[in-house]
Amino acid sequence: MEFPLVTTPWLEANINNQQLVLIDVSMSKVVGKKAIEYDRPLFIPNSQHIDLETSLCDLTSTQVHAFPVAEQFTRQAQRLGIDAESIVVFYDNQGMYSAPRAWWIFQAMGCKNSFVLDGGLPQWLSEKRAVVSGLSVDEPVPGQMNGKLQSDFICDSNYIMDKRAGGQLTLIDARSKERFLGLAPEPRAGVRSGHIPGALNLPFPEVLNGHCFKSPEQLSEIFLNLAGSNNTRLVFSCGSGITACITLLAAVVAGYSYSQLILYDGSWSDWGSNSVLPVER
């Protein structure tokens, strides 16, 4: 299993590698942390951009931030020039926010040679590495990547209701403690406060050290203390499936295998808006 992160020194050394496809996946709206604001656009050289909320979302779904369908993913991957041999690296301008979501989508669609830049643009800037004010203007040669969704990478509320009854999963919620406990209102209208019964709370900033992930040893200890050493599958949730991917990626860094992890796509925006589903506070 490939380690899922690349470092800023590695990226700088490989910035002109013809196999590298470097993608900025920054989002305009940041929830759950104080947003880093910029007075002008800044990018790592040779970057392309993809919009997680449109190009990599199934906009025909009623679900917030629904996973893209395979055909949609394939169009976008080929547009970016991605082939089977490509080294795909994602980053965002918040350090560690939306890049893990893009990485999990690509992993789920079969693009295994995809990675996240640890620390993202803020870490790159803090080390005074070169930046540019615009995206790459070179139109890439269309790629040949074909996506196929591996269904065990994501789940829905029915899966959770079925598996939690038998103690077959451990649900980890990446929202803040206040939202988890129902002490703070949800940002989306019509969504109840609280959490899925039995869920454990791991706010996503707790797996980070500054802009980067904590060490594999530190993360392993966090997950061991939180979930214990049982062999149940870890299901990751948040507000709408974005920041859950940060804690999911942290689990991979800690040494969990992909087969042990699954994303509840839709997360609390899906569960909390369905009055039939139980809520705990």
Distance CA 137, CA 202 (A): 40
pLDDT (mean) for 157-168: 90
pLDDT for the residue numbered 45 = 97
| Percentage of the residues of the chain whose pLDDT score is greater than 90 | 86
Distance CA 92, CA 97 (A): 7
Distance CA 176, CA 68 (A): 26
Using the predicted structure, report yes or no on whether residue 86 has a pLDDT greater than 90: yes
Using the predicted structure, report yes or no on whether residue 61 has a pLDDT greater than 90: no
The helix/strand/coil state of 43 is: strand
Q: How many other CB atoms sit within 10 Å of the CB of residue 58?
A: 15
The helix/strand/coil state of 102 is: helix
In tens, the pLDDT along 3-30 reads 999 999 999 999 999 999 999 999 988 9
Distance CA 205, CA 261 (A): 19
Instruction: Please give the model's pTM, rounded to 2 decimal places.
Output: 0.96
- Confidence band for 1, pLDDT divided at 50, 70 and 90: very low
pLDDT for the residue numbered 139 = 83
- Confidence band for 68, pLDDT divided at 50, 70 and 90: very high
Mean of the per-residue pLDDT values for the chain?
95
Q: Which residue in 57, 155, 212, 238 is the catalytic one?
A: 238
Q: Which two tokens stand for residue 113?
A: 């040679």
In tens, the pLDDT along 176-200 reads 999 999 999 998 888 999 999 999 9
Using the predicted structure, report yes or no on whether residue 264 has a pLDDT greater than 80: yes
- Confidence band for 62, pLDDT divided at 50, 70 and 90: confident
**Pairing mode of beta strands 233-237, 261-264:** parallel
Domains identified in the chain and CATH numbers: 5-149 (3.40.250.10), 152-271 (3.40.250.10)
In tens, the pLDDT along 203-240 reads 999 999 999 999 999 999 999 999 987 778 999 999 99
Please say if 238 is a catalytic residue: yes
